[in-house]
Structure 1
């Protein structure tokens, strides 16, 4: 079209992608976890160990418009704003960026997964938006008025992100490092003060959110402790499956009958793909859960300190599953429609099943399986490359976006110690951040020259 500028074309593509996403998928795709958290949010109860903040967020949107349609819209709008506002960071856009945005907007990464009512999607959206706000603040850092509103928006977004995904703290640390670098243009002391201040502020804000999100009468939040216990069960069983000679001395002292059961059942039910396979053995579940928490904890630490070979072998296998997805179809790369216990759906007045549009979207997504858009490893490589180029150029906003790239890589690495399933959504933040980084780089491709800090 004559006279069409790439900036306008880019905005139009991203907005069109948003409209198509909402038209095709509202009120969103709900798995059993989604429905449970919506139920908790609507009725103010705690029945799972999912994040209370996420349930509260769903409940707040549900009060305005029943269901998840408004929530999905708001979440997708946050991401769309963040991507469009990248244009303002560079002050221009190239046609390379327009072409890349068209492909990205058509990919399941933006077109399908964004409509899933999962904490992983909200975490990814808020993480990208938080760093983008911080990048805008960095760009205007030396102006007469401090960009307090942008800093507050970044802190709020990252605090919610950390509240819905515990290992999201890794990204908060990198955001604090980026803030410290920005403030450090006037000396290391201001940089240290701003970095530590930002880190503490986000952590405190996240803790306050967690307390306020707890329903009345629910008592202390057990989500973290329950999740940690499940992780320890998985690690103990995985280590035994890799090394049947482990003695499990701490468990033997507290619950001697559990040891032979664990030894016998571990090789049968263990899978690096997911912890759920442990539930197929009621005897194993009873042996683990009837053992006192102190003994499980002591056995876990003993495993790491005295038997690192078995522990690391299990952890490596589990990490490969979540990062590489060797058998993609078994890691839930697609979820559409509504699938949850009927009685819970009836209470929420939500119809189960899949619409023809859902099935069409599911079929469409399978065509992308062989592309880099369904490869966490490809996105990790892209994030590393983007970070390298931006650190080389070293402009103020560049360093924040580079912080996002390095932060999401560190977040991915944290799954080496916490992964309990290979579900594709767990590393969705990596994919989305890498897409944002590639788009930012394509807006104004860096010249191969060393940069100076402004």
Structure 2
């Protein structure tokens, strides 16, 4: 219960952030899948169908969903068909139908959101890639000697501002510089990519150091003072507030949350390395001790969490704790599951009791 009442869940629940949205969807998906494995009646098929449905829309919540959705779609489809018919051919056909249907649901919902949500069709993934490339260029320039900076095909003023504004902690500091932001608004994708490739080829060591440092910041190895994005109370954009009739508010509950955040800031609650440690433990237990469908679901949870985590090595641009919120929820569920199912607590207590008896 201690892990399930983690304050980070109460801080971020209900917030319209894509990290929190996909994390919440993953909790529901995994809960449905685990519940299905614990049942022998026909309800398990409904639970599995809902889990496959949730897996279908994960890519629409965050880019990493493209990588983890197939994991859960395949596992959910396999669990659905494994005992539904004695003939292997029928099971294989149904398995294929479920996967195709999952992709179909994704495309239908994608078209629906594009046509009904204002601005959803204008979000180009290349914009995010351009920001990552610019951040990588700045990281390399900040690491190498001045004489080597001059060899880059960049205006001298832009190069100097890249170096001065770079921080492995977050890209925002660099982007706040008007010289940098103006350059990125005017440079072509082709020219920016050429500079980025030049940086990687000529200074791979500097690039790797930049990536490693940015990832360590994200894990919470360093100070988290600027890494805990939290807004207490209710906030919305002025136009949205006018359209919905809502307004900003700051009540006693918000004050309590803010006070609690100050107390918890220096604890492991807001340190992503702690949840990675839980993930390591649960992954090892699942690999070496789990069996049957429990192992399959456990591997799905662990693989998805690892995939999500590792995608941030090349793409991390800030140390915000919330970026790894899906890893937080998946690692917590996985860790609690192995404790409950494989008796880690009971075994530890038995060892202690035996030791006390001998003494």
TM-score by length of structure 1 reads 0.64
- The corresponding residue for 2:132 is 231
- The corresponding residue for 1:424 is 321
**Residue in structure 1 matching 2:204, options 286, 308, 314:** 308
Deviation readout 1:198-219 (Å, 9 max, x if unpaired): 6665455334322220146869
Output the CA distance in 1 between the equivalents of 2:321 and 2:156.
Answer: 34
Change (3 A) 1:248 1:287: farther
Kindly indicate whether residue 103 of structure 2 is the aligned counterpart of residue 206 of structure 1.
no
Unmatched segments (≥5 aa) in structure 2: 348-359
Deviation readout 1:83-115 (Å, 9 max, x if unpaired): xxxxxxxxxxxxxxxxxx1x2354312322213
Shift, 1:180, TM fit: 7.8
Give yes or no for contact 1:107–1:368 (8 Å, CA) kept in 2: no
Change (3 A) 1:335 1:128: same
Change (3 A) 1:218 1:122: closer
Change (3 A) 1:158 1:180: closer
Output the CA distance in 2 between the equivalents of 1:389 and 1:300.
Answer: 41
Give yes or no for contact 2:113–2:120 (8 Å, CA) kept in 1: no
- The corresponding residue for 2:351 is none
Shift, 1:137, TM fit: 4.5
- The corresponding residue for 1:171 is 68
Kindly indicate whether residue 265 of structure 2 is the aligned counterpart of residue 265 of structure 1.
no
Kindly indicate whether residue 334 of structure 2 is the aligned counterpart of residue 433 of structure 1.
no
Shift, 1:440, TM fit: 2.0
Kindly indicate whether residue 30 of structure 2 is the aligned counterpart of residue 131 of structure 1.
yes
Output the CA distance in 1 between the equivalents of 2:185 and 2:89.
Answer: 50
Change (3 A) 1:159 1:325: farther
Output the CA distance in 1 between the equivalents of 2:275 and 2:77.
Answer: 27
- The corresponding residue for 1:243 is 144
Shift, 1:129, TM fit: 2.0
Output the CA distance in 1 between the equivalents of 2:277 and 2:88.
Answer: 31
Kindly indicate whether residue 244 of structure 2 is the aligned counterpart of residue 355 of structure 1.
no
Please, what is the CA RMSD of the aligned residues?
3.4
Deviation readout 1:293-322 (Å, 9 max, x if unpaired): 122233334433453222222211211111
Kindly indicate whether residue 120 of structure 2 is the aligned counterpart of residue 120 of structure 1.
no
Greater shift in the superposed pair: 217-226 or 421-430: 217-226
Output the CA distance in 2 between the equivalents of 1:306 and 1:204.
Answer: 44
Number of residue equivalences: 338
What SS is found at the alignment partner of 2:246?
coil
Give yes or no for contact 2:170–2:317 (8 Å, CA) kept in 1: yes
What SS is found at the alignment partner of 2:273?
helix
- The corresponding residue for 2:220 is 324
What SS is found at the alignment partner of 1:206?
helix
Where in structure 2 are the equivalents of 1:16-415 lying within 5 Å?
101=1, 103-138=2-37, 148-176=45-73, 178-179=75-76, 202-215=102-115, 220-244=121-145, 245-246=148-149, 252=153, 258-324=154-220, 326-342=222-238, 344-391=240-287, 392-415=289-312
Deviation readout 1:312-364 (Å, 9 max, x if unpaired): 22211211111125222211253311345545533443222421210112212
Shift, 1:394, TM fit: 1.4
Change (3 A) 1:176 1:112: same
Output the CA distance in 1 between the equivalents of 2:51 and 2:191.
Answer: 41
